[in-house]
Structure 1
Amino acid sequence: MGIDQRFWAGRRVLVTGHTGFKGTWLTAWLQQMGAVVTGFAKAPPTDPSLFAASGLAGRIEHLEGDVADVAALGEVVARVRPEIVLHLAGQAILRQGFDDPVGTFRTNVMGTVAMLDAIRQVSSVRAAVLITSDKCYLDQRRTCAEDDPLGGHEAYGASKACAEIAIQCFRAAYFPGSFTCGIASARAGNVFGAGDFAPSRLVPDLARAFLRGELPKLRSPEAVRPWQHVLDAVAGYLRLAELLHQRPEMYSTSWNFGPEAGSEWTVSAIADALASAFGIQGWESAPPLPVQEEALLRLQTSRARRRLGWQPQLGMAEALRWTAQGYKRLYGTGDTNWLADQIARYHAGLQEQDARPTEGELVDLMTHAVARTSQHEAA
C-alpha cells in the first residue's frame, strides 16, 4: 500500500486541527508531496509544540479559528474550495473531557457538524475523511469492529460516538448514493511519535520524565491499548482519501486503523522499551484518573487491510526508537529536520513494500511458470 505522491501534488487540501500533534505530521507529509494545503485550527494546543517548531505555518496557508464556529468554517471552505478535506480538529485528551464535558462535546460534535454542513454547500469537495477515535465504541471489552454499537461512558468517548452518528446522518441525508463526494470516518488506535507534548498522555509523559532524568509515573501499568506510530495512522488516512476520491460509492463508510492482532503492548512494556531507548530504567505506579478507563482495548482492522490494502509498517520496537530519536533532537537542539526525514523513510518503505509481489501475485507467477514448463516439456 503506497501513498501516491502524484495524486497529491498540486491538489487543494483542507486540514483542520493541523496545529495539533497528529495534524502536524499529516500536514508535513502533504506539504512534502506538493499538496496545496490550507490549515484551519486554533493556536497550537501545547507550548512547546511540534507545529511551531517545524515552521509549517510559513509553508502552507495557516488560518486560526474555532472549528465549531459554523460561520467562520463555512467561509473558509467556500473560499478555499478544497478538493479533499481531512478533519482532525477536536478535543483529544480523555482527562480534559472529564474536566470540561461541555467544551469537549462542543468541539468534537458541533465541530464535525459544522464541517459536514460546510462541505455540503460547496461542489468542490470530492473526498472528506473525518477523524474520530477508537474510543467511540460502546463495549470496549471486545475486539471492536466498525459495525459494533457506538457509545461512551465518559465525555471524550461519548462525544466521538456522537460525531460518528452525525457523519452517518449527513452521509444518508445529503450524500445518498453520491458518486461525486465521498464521506468516511476514521477511527485510529492510540498513536504516538516524537513531538507530542500533550499532558496526561503516556509517551509524552514518559519522554518528559526520561529527558529530565526522572522516573515516570504510570497510572495503569497493565492496561493494553492499540498503540501505533502516528505515521501508520496518517498513512491510513491518506490512503483512504485517495480511494475515496476515486470510488466514493465504495469507500464511504467507517474504518479502523490499529496494530496487528495480538501485537498490542501493555503500558509497562511501552515504558520499559522507551526507557531503554533513552538509556534509563524504571518507573513508578501512580493513582488512576477519576475517569473510567478500560483495561483492554483492541481493534478489528480487517476492513482496512482487505479493502484499502493498508497495514502497519512500523513495529513497536522500531517506532519507539524513531520516537526517542526525534525527542532527543527536538529537546536537545530544537532541530526538526528529523520530521521530514522520518516521513521520507516511511514513505520510501511503503514504495518498497508495493514493489514486492503479494502472496496472490506469487501464486500467479508460480502457476504461470509451471504452465510454461509443462508446455516446454510437451513440445
Structure 2
Amino acid sequence: MVNQSFWQGKRVFLTGHTGFKGAWLSLWLSQLGAKVTGYALDPATTPNLFELLQLNKVVDSHIGDINDAANLFRVLDEANPDIVIHMAAQPFVGESYRDPVGTFQTNIVGTVNLLEAIRKANQKGAKIKVVLNVTTDKCYENVESIWGYRETDPLGGKDPYSVSKACSELVTKSYRDSFFHPLKIAEHGVAIASARAGNVIGGGDWSSERLIPQCIDSLMANKPIFLRRPNAIRPWQHVVEPLSGYLQLVEKLYEEGAAYTSAWNFGPDFADCRPVREIVEKLISIWGGQLKLEKYEQPLYPESDLLLLDCTKSKSQLSWHPVWRVDQAIEKIVEWHRAYEKNEDMLKISIQQLEQFMLDQNVRCHSHG
C-alpha cells in the first residue's frame, strides 16, 4: 500500500499534470504532502478535472510542450526534483490516425527530451533519484491472446499510438542501458522504470474519445449511445488503481533502486476484464437510465477485440493488488458525476474517494497479509 510518510516533502516533477490521470495524481501527491511541479499543455477539455479542483493552488503548474526541449529543461532544472513521473502524451488511438506525426513526435521524441533533460540536470549537480515513464497496455504486440501479456512479452502494435508507446518503452530501456544502468547506480544515482496500465475510468473525465464520458454525455442528454466495438474485452480499472501502483513502485525505486528498474504492469484481475457492452449496461443500471445501445455502422478505425494484462510481477514483487472491483469503480463514477450535477464541492468529493480507496487498500492489505 502507499506509504504516506515517504511522500512528505518529496519534490516531484510530473509531466501531463493537467490531464485526467495527471490531475488525479496531482491531487493524491498533494494530499500525501509532496511538492509537485507540473509540466503540460493546457487542459484538453472544458470542463476539466485540473481546473475544477483548482489544482493550480497546490501544484507549481507550468504550461509547456514536451516537444520544447529547452523550456522543458529550464523548468525541470528550476524544480530540482527528487522524483520524475512522465505522463505527458498524445493518449488516443483515434487521434493517432488523424495526426500520426504529432503522435510520434510527442510520445517518442517527447520521452527522449525528458530523459535527456534528466541526464543533463544530473550532470549539472541535480539529484534526481527516480524516473517513472508511464506508457500503456497497448505497447504490447497484441495477438489477441487469451493469456494476459507479461512484461517480457514482445512490444509492438499496429496503430500509431500503440507503436509510439512501444517506442517510448524502447527509448526508456535505451537510456537505462546506456546512461542509467542498474549495475552502475552508485555512480549515476538514477533508478528508471516504466509502467503499463489498463483502461482507466473515473470521475472527472470529459474526453470525447473515451467510453465512460461518451456514456455519461448520452445519459445526461437522453440520446442513444453508439459503441464502436461492443464485444471488445478490455482491462477496466478505476484511475486510482494504477496510480497507487505507480506510487508504490516509485517508493521501491527510491529506497531499493536497481532491483526495480524494469517494466511493470498494473491492471485489474481477469474477472474485471469485461466486454464494452457489459460495462455500459452496468453504468446505465447504476445511473438509472433507459437508453438504446447502437453500434457504429462502419468502424472508425481498426481495433483489437481482446487485450489482457498479467500483473503477477507487480502483485508478487510490489505487493500491489487491485482494490475496487469494476462494479465498485462504476459506482464511484456515478457518485462523482451525480455530485457534479448537483454543483457540490468536487474537491471534497474527490478527496473523499481517494481517502476511501486508501482505507479499502489498507483493509485489503491486512486481510491478505
User: Do residues 242 (structure 1) and 241 (structure 2) align?
Assistant: no
Q: CA deviation at 1:334?
A: 5.7
Cross-structure match for 1:139: 142
SS at match of 1:247: helix
Partner-residue secondary structure (3-state), 1:125: coil
Q: What secondary structure is seen at the aligned counterpart in 1 of 2:270?
A: coil
Q: Residue 111 of structure 1 aligns with which residue?
A: 110
Deviation per CA, 1:253-298: give whole Å up to 9, x if none: 0011111024311100000000011101332222354322100100
Distance of 2:256 and 2:101 partners within structure 1: 37
Q: 2:168 aligns with which of 147, 163, 173?
A: 163
Q: Is the 8 A contact 1:135 1:152 kept in 2?
A: yes
Q: List aligned pairs for 1:6-85, cutoff 5 A.
A: 6-85=5-84
Inter-partner Cα distance in structure 2 for 1:26 and 1:45 = 17
- Distance in 1, matches of 2:299 and 2:65, equals 28
- TM-score, structure 2 length as denominator? 0.94
Task: Give the TM-score taking structure 1 as reference length.
Answer: 0.92
Question: Per-residue CA shift, 1:315-338, capped at 9, x if unaligned?
Answer: 011110000111122233163121
Q: How far apart in 2 are the matches of 1:287 and 1:82?
A: 50
List runs of 5+ in structure 1 lacking aligned partners: 359-379
Return the letter of the residue paired with 2:107: N
> What letter is aligned with 1:315?
R
Q: CA deviation at 1:306?
A: 0.6
* Post-superposition CA distance 1:317-361 (Å, at most 9, x none): 111000011112223316312111101111122223333362xxx
Instruction: Map Cα deviations across residues 21-79 of structure 1 (whole Å, 9 max, x no partner).
Output: 00000010000111001111000011110111010012220110001211111111111
Match of 1:186 among 195, 216, 227: 195
Instruction: Verify: 1:213 aligned to 2:197, yes or no.
Output: no
The number of aligned residues is 357
| 3-state SS in 2 of match to 1:284 | strand
The aligned residue for residue 198 of structure 1 is 207
Partner Cα separation in structure 1 for residue 176 and residue 156 of structure 2: 19
- Contact kept in structure 2, 1:272 and 1:281, CA below 8 Å: no
Task: Assess if the C-alpha contact under 8 Å between 2:207 and 2:213 holds in 1.
Answer: yes
Shift of 1:139: 2.6
Name the Cα RMSD after superposition.
1.3
Query: Contact between 2:6 and 2:251, CA under 8 Å: does it hold in 1?
Result: yes
Tell me the residue number matched to 1:307.
317
Q: Contact conserved, 2:236 with 2:272, CA < 8 A, in 1?
A: no
* Percent pairwise identity: 37
Match of 1:356 in 2: 367
Tell me, in whole angstroms, the C-alpha distance in 1 between the residues paired with 2:239 and 2:334: 14
Separation in 2 of the partners of 1:167 and 1:258?
21
Which protein is bigger by CA-based radius of gyration?
1
Choose from 327, 332, 345 the match for 2:342: 332
Q: What is the alpha-carbon distance in structure 1 between the residues aligned to residue 179 and residue 154 of structure 2?
A: 23
Letter of the aligned partner of 1:5 in structure 2? Answer: Q
Letter in 1 for 2:324: L
Instruction: Spell out, residue by residue over 1:160-216, the C-alpha distance to the aligned partner (whole angstroms, 9 max, x if none).
Output: 011011000000000112242110000000000011111121011011111222221
Q: Is the 1:154–1:291 Cα contact (8 Å) retained in structure 2?
A: no
2:212 alignment partner, SS class: helix
**Structure 2 residues not aligned, in runs of 5+:** none
Separation in 1, partners of 2:366, 2:166 = 38
Residue aligned with 1:147, SS: coil
